[in-house]
Amino acid sequence: MKSGLGTRDSGFARPIVLAAMLMASGCGSDTPTSPSTPVAPGSETFSSVVAPGGASTRTFTLEKAGTITVTMTTAGATLGLGLGLPRVSGGGCRLSVAVNAAPGSTPQLTMPADAGQYCVQVYDLGTLRDPVPFAVKIDHP
C-alpha cells in the first residue's frame, strides 16, 4: 500500500513549489528601477565680444522644465543682458526678460522655463565706444 504522498500528489506539488521559487527569486532583487545617479543640471559658459551698437546671442536647449539662471561674470562695462526664445525666421533672439547688467557673482537673470530652445543675448545699451569682451554663465536643468 502507498502512503498519502503517492506519485499523483507529488506531481501536483511540483508546479506549486516551482511557482513559489520563481516568485521568491523576483523579490529582493538588486536591479535598480531608476537611474542610480541623478541627472545633473547643465551649465555652460558663453563668451564673446559686443561691438558698439551690436549684440551677441547664444542658443541652448533644455531637456526638461526648470529654472534658468544667467550670470555675467566678466565684462568691461555695464551691458544689456536678455533671456528669451530664438526667432524661428530671421534669426536673433526674442527677449522675454532683459536687464542692464554689470558683472558679478550672483545671477542677474532668473526665469522658469519649460523644455525647449532658449537664447541669451548680450547687447550694447548705446554707451559703448569700443568693443567689450564678456563672459556669461548659463545654468539650467
- CATH architecture type of domain 42-140: Sandwich (2.60)
Pick the residue with more confidence: 7 or 69? Answer: 69
89, pLDDT greater than 60: yes
pTM of structure = 0.69
Domain residue spans of the chain: 42-140
Q: Which residues pair with 55 in a beta bridge?
A: 123
Give the pLDDT band of residue 92 (cuts 50, 70, 90): confident
pLDDT of residue 31: 38
Pairing verdict, β 55-62 and 116-123: antiparallel
The dihedral region occupied by 66, where left means phi > 0, alpha psi between -120 and 50, and beta the remainder, is left
Query: Among candidates 81, 64, 65, which has minimal Cα distance to 73?
Result: 81
Distance CA 65, CA 19 (A): 44
Give the pLDDT band of residue 9 (cuts 50, 70, 90): low
Q: Which helix (H) or strand (E) holds 19?
A: helix 7-26
The pLDDT of 106-122, averaged and rounded, is 95
